[in-house]
Structure 1
Amino acid sequence: MNVRKIVTFVEEIHSEGGNAVRPAARTAVVLAVIENPWAGEGFVDDLAPLIDKVAPELGALLAPRVVEALGAPVEAYGKAAIVGLDGEIEHGSALIHTLKFGDHFRTAANATTLLPAVEKRAPAGTVFDIPLKHVTDATTRSHHQTVEARVADAPRADEIVVGLAAAAQGRPQARLAPLSSEQ
């Protein structure tokens, strides 16, 4: 795996809707800009060999970094892959939609639910939203949220941006009734 750079964002929201948020709502995103391992190969029918090689290494790199950046227990989490214009969306999906990648984050976050994801092909500097869900109960509405990320110079045409996002809580000032109230 060839990593060009790692970018970390941490956000704290102290006020929402004109009201103080105490404690501050904290989110973290860690993005790795990597060389697309299938770049220049043309159409590759069997992605498995490079999935087996790259995905575990990438998960092991990102999971502890996002947990450390958050600096609190993870309550909501998500993942993303943005493929440069010379790649296929399937290249990003191949890296993030495998337990070899996601289980690193599940373990680090003491999580049991599937990681929500976004993947697409886009030019460098594209803004993307990473969806987050509760780590043990995907029906917990307060934790359905998104965090925005962008790397100004990535992905280049032959790169993939792979990221993990975490939140220490649900949305600031969340007040929707539980999903069970509608059933």
Structure 2
Amino acid sequence: MPDFTLRKTMLFIEDIHHDGGPAPAQPRRRAAIVALVRNPFAGGHTADLQSAMDDLKPLGLQMTDRLIEAMGGPDGIDGYGKASLVGEGGELEHTALWHVPGGYAMRERLGEAKAIVPSSMKMGGVGTRIDIPLGHINAAYVRSHFDGMEVGVPDGPRAQELLFALAMARGPRIHHRMGGLQAEEVKGEDGLR
């Protein structure tokens, strides 16, 4: 069993009160949580990485629960995304370890989430920032929820570390007006529409 020792977590919360034009009726909240963990695969090549995703599931659930709490509860959360960043000595494929633990934790805790969880992966050293893509939780074609949230940690990822990130949002972009499928038209049957 690989050792993904947790070094630290950080929470980021944004309440967007204005973005040009008239002020919205209520602010839009976006929040993200990141975790820095030891990368047990750094410095060498491991043929079987897939089984290690199960070892990260408890971390995914823990981060999801803290993120939902930071959002003020699950009601109204309608956007999500995930990202991972590998430090020196690792390989890009190590970031893919976050696909199942990060994505399925959010889908499980948010209930009827149907859409795939948007994801980004990157290599970088201490202080590297990463954009977490956001999309609607039930329909990938809802343009009003296409967004991203940039996060980073001043002292990570260090060599032989991984940074795992989750993000959630409540509501569309302020003053969205690019058409497409409207959130209230979502059928939520296939994760697309």
Q: CA deviation at 1:19?
A: 2.6
Q: How far apart are the structure 1 equivalents of 2:88 and 2:22? A: 42
- How many residue pairs get aligned? The number is 176
TM-score (norm 2): 0.86
Whole-Å separation in 1 of the counterparts to 2:131 and 2:175: 20
Q: What residue in structure 1 maps to residue 169 of structure 2?
A: 167
Which consecutive residues of structure 2, in runs of 5 or more, have no partner in the other structure?
A: 183-193
The C-alpha deviation readout for 1:127-152, integer Å capped at 9, x for no partner, is 21110000001100000001111111
Look up the match of 1:35: 38
Do structure 1's residue 21 and structure 2's residue 54 form an aligned pair?
Answer: no
Match of 1:122 among 107, 121, 124: 124
TM-score, with normalisation over the residues of structure 1? 0.90
Higher strand share: 1
| Aligned with 1:47 (options 24, 49, 71) | 49
CA contact (8 A) 1:13 1:21 kept: no
Structure 1: gaps spanning 5 or more residues? none
Q: CA offsets per residue over residues 49-72 of structure 1, 9 Å max, x none?
A: 32222x212211211111111115
- 1:68 is matched with 69
- Separation in structure 2 between the aligned mates of residue 169 and residue 179 of structure 1, nearest angstrom: 14
Residue 58 of structure 2 aligns to a residue in which SS?
helix
List 4+ stretches of structure 1 deviating above 3 A: none
Contact kept, 8 Å, 2:7 with 2:38, in 1: the verdict is: yes
* Cα RMSD (Å): 1.5
Of 9, 12, 33, which aligns to 1:9?
Answer: 12
Deviations 1:6-41 (A, max 9, x none): 00000011111143122101000000111112124x
